[in-house]
Structure 1
Amino acid sequence: MSSTPDTCESAAGSSASHGDVVTDGQALAKRYADVRALSDSIVAPLQPEDCVLQSMPDASPIRWHLAHTTWFFETFVLADRCDAPVADESFRYLFNSYYNTVGDQFPRHQRGLLSRPTVREVMGYRRDVDDAVVTLLRNADVVDESLARVIELGLNHEQQHQELMLTDIKHAFAQNPLYPAHVDAECGPCDAPELQWISSDGGVVNMGCTGDRFCFDNELPQHRVFLEPFQIANRLVTNAEYQQFIEDGGYQDPRHWLSAGWATVQQQGWTNPIYWIRQGEGFDEFTLGGCHPIDPDAPVAHLSYFEADAFARWSRARLPTEAEWETVAREPSPDDPTSGECIDALRPVHPTHGTPSASGVSGLYGTLWQWTSSSYGPYPGYTPPEGALGEYNGKFMCNQYVLRGSSCATSPGHARRTYRNFFGPDARWQFTGIRLARSV
C-alpha cells in the first residue's frame, strides 16, 4: 500500500453512499455513539505511549486515527452547522489525510514525530465533537437526507480506521522485543477442512453492487463480466502449506516471483511471513495476543500480493480474479461476526477457517482479506462524485490489487460480496491471506 497517497485509509474508502439511509435523528445518534464507542474500546487496553508510535510510513499512530476520524465529522458535518469551530485551527492541517480540496496536510510519514496535541487533548477533541454531533442529531426528528448520508459515510470511514488501528498497533508492537499483547487471549486450535476445488461454469455474470443499500462508489455500477470456466479452493491456504513453500526454497527461487516481487524480496530480505519468528527448526507467530506457536492448520496470514502470487505459482495454481471470487461468494449469514451491529473489538487474535457456506466454501468473511489477481481500477461507467469527498477513492485506482471478503479485524457491517479492498503489492501488515484458483 505504499503507493497510495495516504495509506491510512483502508482500501475500500469511498466518497459516496448509496441505497436507503437512516434519517431518524434518535436512531442515527445511537448508531453514531455505538460506532465511536467501539473505537474507544480498541484503545482502552493501550497506554498513552502506545498511541503515539508510528512504526513505518504506511502505518499511523493510534492518536492520529482517533483525531483524523474526528476531524472528518468536524469538517464535513459540523463546519457549516456550528457557530464556532470545535478545535484549534491547526487540527485542520495536522489531521487532514489527503483532501487537497480542504487544504494542505501534515506529511504522512512524519505523524509519529508529533508529541502534541497530547493523547488526552485528542480524546477531549473527540468528546467535544461527539457532543456536538449527537446534539445536532437528537434535536432533529428527521435528519436531512444529505446530512444522514455524510454521517453514514463518516461512520463507515471510522470503521475502516478501527481495523487499521488494530493492524497498526500490531505492527508497532511487533517491533518491540518484549512482544507486548494488545489483548489477553489464547489462540485456540484450528481445524482446516480438506482441500477441495469448487467448480464454476463461468459465462456472463453480474458484478458489483446494485446500489439499493449502502455501498461505496467503487462497488458501482453493476455490470456484466464474462468468465471462462474455473475452479476455486474451498478454503484458505494454511500455515503448514505455506511452510512447505518456505522449506522448498520458495523465498530463494526467482522462478516463482514477479520481477517486482523478486526485487522486493531481495531488497527487504524476506524469508518468511512478517509475523513469523524463527525458533530453532520451527516458528512462533506474533499475534495481538502476544507470541504463540504456529498452528499448522490455521490460515496463513499477513502476506503481500507478491508472496501470495509466488505461492500460487509454486502450487501450480493462481490467484482468483475478483469477478471469480464474487461469483462463488454468497452474502454473509446474519450470524457472521462481521455482519452484525456489534462485535467484540478485542476479538482478532488470529484467523480461523470459519463455517462453510452452502456452496462448501469456507473463510469468505471474518477470516482474512483474500488477494485477487485483479488490478484495482474503475468499473465500466464509474464516475467519482464531485466535491471534496470525491477525493476519497477514485484517485487511488492505480498500482493496487483488489482483495475480497473481510478479516478477523474487520468492523461490523463491512462484510459483503461486492466490497472492494485494495492495497499495494508489497503490503504485509494487514490481515491478508491466500485462496487459490485454477483454470479448467
Structure 2
Amino acid sequence: MTSAEDLRATVADQLTRARARSAALTDAVDDDDLVRQHSKLMSPLVWDLAHIGNQEELWLVRDVGGRDPVRSDIDELYDAFKHARAARPELPLLGPGEARGYVREVRDKVFDVLERTPLEGARLLDGAFAFGMIVQHEQQHDETMLATHQLRAGAPVLHAPPPPPGGPVGPPEVLVPGGPFTMGTSTEAWALDNERPAHQVVTAPFLIDTTPVTNGAYTEFIADGGYRDPRWWSPTGWEHVQSAGLTAPRFWSRSGDAWHRRAFGVTAPLDPAQPVVHVCFHEAEAYARWAGKRLPTEVEWEKAARFDPATGRSLRYPWGDDDPTPEHANLGQRHLSPAPVGAYPKGVSPLGVHQLVGDVWEWTSSDFRGYAGFEVFPYAEYSQVFFGGDHKVLRGGSFGTDPVAVRATFRNWDYPIRRQVFAGFRCARDASPEVARGAVEG
C-alpha cells in the first residue's frame, strides 16, 4: 500500500512534469504565435495555458484546498462550454505574461494544498484522485497544444529524436478467442468516470490486425481509387469526402509518384512503415471496407489489448500491469511521429498484437456511451454530455499522449470528421467457424 508521503511525492512529480511540458509548448513560440488562432478547430495556445491554470484553481485551490479564489473574474472566459473554440480569440483573454504569472501563482498554492491535505476520507481525496484528474487534464491539453503546433504554419520550433526502427511483427492478423473478459476498471485510482465500472463482456472470436494500418498500406487504397469510389464509404462518409474534397490523409502531399508528409513544419518523404496518422473515422471505415474488413468495436479493441488467455485476466496494459516505459510504447512526445511497426516488441500483448498503446489513437466503430452502471464523477461535462451517436471512440493514445493520461481502459472520443487528432486505426474481421475451431483444436 502506498504511503501518504509517497503519494504526495508522486503527485508533485507528475504536476511538475506536466507543467514542464506546458512551458515547453508555449515557450517555443513568440507572443504573437501564442495569441494567434492557428485553426478554427483549436484555441489560441495562450487560452489553453490559462485554462489549465483555471481548472487547477477551481478543483485544487478552491474545492480541495478551500482557499480564496485567485482570479474568480476569469472563470467564464476559460469555461470550455461557454465559448466555442472559433470565438475564443475575440475574448479579453489574459496576455502571455499575465497567463504565465497566473498559472505560477495557482501552482504555488496547489503545492501548499498538497502538503496540508489528507489524501483520504472523501472520494475526491482518496488516492489523490483530484490531483490525478488535474494532472491528466493538463497533459490532455498539452496534447491538444501539440496538435495546434502541427496546424501552425512557419518554421519548425519543436524538435525530438526520431523514433526507434521497426522490426518483425509476425502474421498480419491475430485471432482473439471468443468468451468473457473483464472490461473497464473499478480499481485504477486515477481512472476517469467513463472507464468505470469494471464489467464482464462476452465476445465472439474475431481477427484483429497485428499492427495499425501503415502509410504504405494506405497508399494502396489511394492508388486503387479509394477516395473516388463510393462503394467503400458509408452514405455519410461519401457525402463528407466529396464536400470536404478529401483525396489523402491530412498533411500529405504528392510530387510525381512520391508521397510526402508535413509534420511540425518539416516536410519529408512518407515512411511506409509508420502507422498512418491524421485520418478521420470515415477514412478509416472506408479503408477497412476496401480491405474486406471492418473497424473493431471498442470492446474488441480492449479485449485484444488486455486479455491474457493464460490466466483469463484483464491486464492494465498490453504488456502487463507495470507502468509504461520508453521500451513499451511511443508516448509522452519523446518523438514527433509514430514509430514504424514492430518498434516496441516489449509492448506486445499476450495475444501478439503490437502497438496498441502509443503511436496513434485508433478509431473504433463504437459510439461513445457510458457503461452499464456509469456514474458521473466528479462532473458531467467531462464525459456524460458527449454520450450518444455524435462521437466515435478512439483508443490507445498517440505519440503525443503522456503515460499518465492513457491506460488500456482509457476512452477518447471525437467527431467522425475530425483529422487534427493524432489518429490512425487498425482493422478487424469476424473469425469464420473454421478458423475459430482450428484455433481451439490447435
For the aligned pair, the TM-score class normalised by the smaller chain equals 0.7 to 0.9
1:126 partner letter: V
Cross-structure match for 1:240: 216
Identity %: 33
How many angstroms does 1:217 deviate by? 0.9
How many angstroms does 1:91 deviate by? 1.4
Query: Per-residue displacement from partner, 1:126-162 (whole Å, max 9, x unpaired)?
Result: 1111111112223457676534322221111111111
1:149 aligns with 2:129: yes
How many angstroms does 1:110 deviate by? 1.1
1:377 aligns with 2:335: no
1:355 to 344, 365, 368: 344
Query: Per-residue displacement from partner, 1:206-239 (whole Å, max 9, x unpaired)?
Result: 2111334321111111222221121011111111
Distance across 1 between alignment mates of 2:339 and 2:144: 16
How many angstroms does 1:439 deviate by? 0.6
How many angstroms does 1:33 deviate by? 2.6
Distance across 1 between alignment mates of 2:254 and 2:325: 32
Cross-structure match for 2:202: 226
C-alpha change, 1:384 and 1:197, in structure 2 (3 Å) is same
How many angstroms does 1:390 deviate by? 2.8
Contact 2:39 2:148 (C-alpha < 8 Å) held by counterparts: no
Contact 2:18 2:135 (C-alpha < 8 Å) held by counterparts: yes
Distance across 2 between alignment mates of 1:50 and 1:112: 12
Find the residue that maps to 2:364 and give its secondary structure.
strand
Cross-structure match for 1:414: 405
Query: Per-residue displacement from partner, 1:267-291 (whole Å, max 9, x unpaired)?
Result: 1111000010222322211113611
Contact 2:370 2:387 (C-alpha < 8 Å) held by counterparts: yes
> What are the ranges of 5 or more consecutive residues in structure 2 without an aligned counterpart?
307-316, 432-442
Return the TM-score normalized by structure 1.
0.84
Distance across 2 between alignment mates of 1:191 and 1:276: 25
2:149 to 156, 162, 169: 169
Contact 1:320 1:373 (C-alpha < 8 Å) held by counterparts: yes
1:85 aligns with 2:77: no
CA RMSD of aligned residues (A): 2.8
> What are the ranges of 5 or more consecutive residues in structure 1 without an aligned counterpart?
1-18, 99-104
2:140 to 160, 183, 188: 160
Describe how 1:14-33 pairs up with structure 2 within 5 A: 25=8, 27-33=10-16
Number of residues paired by the alignment?
408
1:204 to 172, 180, 205: 180
Contact 2:332 2:403 (C-alpha < 8 Å) held by counterparts: no
1:128 partner letter: E
Cross-structure match for 2:424: 433
1:169 partner letter: H
Contact 1:65 1:161 (C-alpha < 8 Å) held by counterparts: yes
Cross-structure match for 1:108: 85
Find the residue that maps to 2:40 and give its secondary structure.
coil
Describe how 1:2-401 pairs up with structure 2 within 5 A: 25=8, 27-79=10-62, 81=65, 84-87=68-71, 89-98=72-81, 105-114=82-91, 116-140=93-117, 145=122, 146-147=124-125, 148-171=128-151, 173=152, 176=153, 178=154, 180-183=156-159, 185=161, 190=166, 193=169, 195-288=171-264, 290-330=266-306, 331-333=317-319, 334=322, 336-337=324-325, 345=333, 347-353=335-341, 354-356=343-345, 357=348, 358-385=350-377, 389-398=379-388, 399-401=390-392
Contact 2:233 2:286 (C-alpha < 8 Å) held by counterparts: yes
Query: Per-residue displacement from partner, 1:86-139 (whole Å, max 9, x unpaired)?
Result: 22x4411111112xxxxxx23432123347421111111111111111122234
Contact 1:289 1:349 (C-alpha < 8 Å) held by counterparts: no
Find the residue that maps to 1:329 and give its secondary structure.
helix
1:215 partner letter: A
